[in-house]
Chain A
């Protein structure tokens, strides 16, 4: 905590104190999910390595999972508030499984492309346009 506060100006001290003492809500998780999702989208758009694009997809799915788990969490909802309950956790499990399947197939396609074209640069995949 002292390391965190050492580099901050004095004006940020009440903000840090508020963050450290107030309970975590759904909005905190949604902010984390938004940052992960945006990083994944930018990674998918920016990387020229096919494996980099795959990592961007993983980040996007992970950001969506954070939102599902946050909305289904028993600790973050107030009494009487609507919640996804157990459904959110089960959907997050399905997302994890489908991400594993997608990664396997996409990696097989990437290895096939690498065997045939001797590169993983997706800008060189012009004959895949059909």
Chain B
């Protein structure tokens, strides 16, 4: 019934399939982003975040930024999210999988979020006169100009109305800075997350032994060693 109404308003030939695909990806991205906020279980939050980021990569492809979309899929979805899922699995003890927030906090965060969204949407719709209907021009692939720009040479033509000297600078220095930054971050993260040898028992071991009768092997060895020492002293 609704389909017939819609079909009477708009013939199939008038459908802009670019817009249809955009609406599909945008709906998935926004719905999964909201689901990340609403989900209580941290594992489901990670799953919804994967879906949201993948749909955003689809939006990048639709906007003609195919290299950025591929990098989004490879680095974000393939790397960062796998890292986050490993973090979830390493810390997913039973009481931490779903940590409840109080309902007053939820109401407050919802009000703040609605206010922020209202401001941002108003700003977004004021950009509307900037838009012209897209021309049918097919853009050249952007991977080679991006690679050249990262090496400090600009191969793309400057945008209209911009003096050529203003945009001719490449991105060699930021590229090098980011490279060193990634190296330092790699070393720092490995240093922070390394397995340490401890003299005092960890809080997690104390909690585990105080909760139940199960004593970890390390603590059993330690207590037997201390018993030997005290017995030898006597």
Among candidates A70, A77, A86, residue contacting B142 with C-beta atoms closer than 8 Å: A86
Among candidates A6, A97, A117, A121, residue contacting B203 with C-beta atoms closer than 8 Å: A117
Do A62 and B192 have beta carbons less than 8 Å apart? no
CB contacts (< 8 Å) of A97 on chain B: these are 75, 178, 182
**A63 CA / B79 CA spacing, docked (Å):** 19
Task: Tell me, yes or no, whether B217 is within 8 Å of chain A by CB.
Answer: no
B121 CB to nearest A CB, Å: 6
Q: A76-B131, A115-B204 are in contact. Are A5 and B34 (CB under 8 A)?
A: no
- Interface size class for chain A? 35 or more
A11 CB to nearest B CB, Å: 11
CB contacts (< 8 Å) of B207 on chain A: these are 118
Q: What residue of chain A has the Cβ atom nearest to residue B61's Cβ?
A: A69
Task: Tell me, yes or no, whether A24 is within 8 Å of chain B by CB.
Answer: yes
Contacts between the two chains (Cβ within 8 Å), count? 310
Do B156 and A47 have beta carbons less than 8 Å apart? no
B209 CB to nearest A CB, Å: 12
Q: What residue of chain A has the Cβ atom nearest to residue B170's Cβ?
A: A90
**A32 CA / B34 CA spacing, docked (Å):** 12
Q: A66-B59, A108-B193 are in contact. Are A80 and B160 (CB under 8 A)?
A: yes
B26 CB to nearest A CB, Å: 5
Q: A105-B188, A112-B193 are in contact. Are A82 and B159 (CB under 8 A)?
A: yes
Q: A81-B132, A120-B96 are in contact. Are A38 and B116 (CB under 8 A)?
A: yes
B181 CB to nearest A CB, Å: 6
Task: Tell me, yes or no, whether B220 is within 8 Å of chain A by CB.
Answer: no
CB contacts (< 8 Å) of A112 on chain B: these are 192-193
Among candidates A55, A62, A70, residue contacting B45 with C-beta atoms closer than 8 Å: A55
Given A5-B5, A6-B3, 15 further pairs, Cβ under 8 A: A5-B2, A10-B2, A13-B6, A31-B26, A41-B112, A58-B76, A74-B139, A82-B161, A90-B150, A100-B76, A103-B84, A104-B83, A109-B192, A116-B202, A117-B203
